């Protein structure tokens, strides 16, 4: 039996610049961190040589070609497993539509599990790239490439998507005290809304030419965000998040909605510097940045929404059990 643990992520700046249609013309940049919310994948040999997959539903099939889950089917094809396996997934956060990169984490964790099942080691960069190929090229998901790299490498990183297709992952070496101070300025609320991100992301992808200058600015703001973070200028970070959120809302319809706008405006009125909806938008989690002295008032104003405590993490996808 093999069990993997793969982190979810919070993306602070640059989301949307990781689409190939953009970064082939101008470098895309994303600054993100992994958090202590995980997806667990378990693989075990199946005695009767069939395939069983358990996620939000259960599939029992005799052949790989019969699998409905597109990512599982593609991953098994990628590693060359035809039958005789049982795969189970469990998540700390409801998978799908939360904005924490769950699909990318699932793909990375699944591949990591399957290669370990075959007694093979795969590096984080290859793991991330194979996960991208499975989601974008095989499952035809209209997504960028940040989530897979965040999940494979773990920690605080600036991920640069170069015009020649190369991806560079540069770790940010923040002191423990700076990271702790940064976390104390962040609040994560669940909107209660789950949505399929594909429709929003498809529109966002279609609008890349129209929004090119917006995306270019978001890529450049990522570098400004990095400098402010390394200096511990938290108020500036909050205002950059606010500026980025105002730009992000222009990229495609559905990124925001009346409930999200209401939550965000309540937070601002209660003293928040800024924030953003995570991921594609339309639901999931909203990140708020504020001075700790204003957070009790923000929590009071948003008390009907679930607050999600979290910590930053350093590790990417890893195998936590071999038996």
Domain with CATH 3.30.230.10 in the chain: 2-174
pLDDT of residue 96: 67
pLDDT tens-digit series, residues 102-117: 999 999 999 999 999 9
Average pLDDT over residues 266-272: 97
| Structural class in CATH, domain 176-307 | alpha beta
Helices 258-269 & 292-301 angle (0-180, nearest 10): 140
Mean pLDDT of the chain: 95
- pTM here? 0.95
pLDDT of residue 194: 73
* Percentage, residues of the chain above pLDDT 90: 88
Q: Which residues contact 267 (CB under 8 A, 6 or more apart)?
A: 275, 286, 288, 290, 298, 301, 302
- Please answer whether residues 152 and 132 qualify as being in contact, where contact means their C-beta atoms are separated by less than 8 angstroms: no
- The answer as to CATH 3.40.190.150 being correct for domain 2-174 is no
- Please answer whether residues 201 and 251 qualify as being in contact, where contact means their C-beta atoms are separated by less than 8 angstroms: no
Domain with CATH 3.30.70.890 in the chain: 176-307
pLDDT of residue 94: 75
Instruction: Quickly state the pLDDT bin for 95 (edges 50, 70, 90).
Output: low
pLDDT tens-digit series, residues 37-92: 999 999 999 999 999 999 989 999 999 999 999 999 999 999 999 999 999 999 99
pLDDT of residue 107: 97
């Amino acid at each position: 039996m093999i069990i993997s643990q793969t982190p979810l992520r919070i993306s602070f700046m640059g989301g949307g610049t990781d689409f190939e249609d953009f970064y082939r013309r101008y470098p895309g940049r994303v600054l993100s961190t992994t958090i202590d919310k995980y997806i667990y994948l378990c693989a075990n040999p199946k005695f009767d040589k069939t395939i069983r997959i358990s996620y939000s539903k259960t599939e029992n099939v005799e052949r790989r070609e019969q699998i409905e889950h597109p990512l599982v089917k593609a991953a098994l094809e990628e590693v060359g497993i035809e039958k005789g396996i049982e795969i189970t997934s469990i998540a700390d956060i409801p998978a799908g539509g939360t904005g924490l990169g769950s699909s990318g984490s699932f793909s990375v964790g699944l591949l990591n599990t399957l290669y370990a099942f075959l007694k093979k080691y795969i590096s984080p960069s290859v793991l991330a790239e194979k996960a991208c190929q499975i989601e974008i090229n095989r499952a035809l998901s209209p997504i960028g490439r940040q989530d897979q790299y965040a999940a494979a490498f773990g920690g605080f990183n600036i991920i640069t998507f170069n015009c020649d297709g190369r991806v560079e992952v540069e770790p940010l070496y923040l002191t423990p005290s700076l990271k702790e101070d940064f976390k104390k300025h962040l609040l994560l609320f669940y909107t209660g809304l789950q949505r399929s991100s594909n429709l929003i992301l498809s529109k966002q992808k279609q609008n890349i030419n129209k929004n090119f200058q917006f995306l270019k600015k978001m890529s450049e703001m990522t570098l400004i965000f990095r400098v402010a973070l390394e200096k511990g200028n938290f108020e500036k970070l909050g205002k950059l998040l606010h500026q980025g959120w105002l730009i992000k809302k222009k990229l495609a319809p559905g990124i925001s909605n009346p409930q999200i706008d209401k939550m965000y405006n309540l937070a601002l009125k209660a003293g928040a510097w800024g924030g953003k909806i995570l991921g594609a938008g339309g639901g999931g989690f909203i990140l708020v940045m504020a001075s700790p002295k204003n957070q009790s008032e923000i929590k009071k104003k948003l008390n009907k929404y679930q607050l999600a405590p979290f910590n930053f993490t350093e590790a990417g996808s890893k195998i936590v059990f071999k038996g």
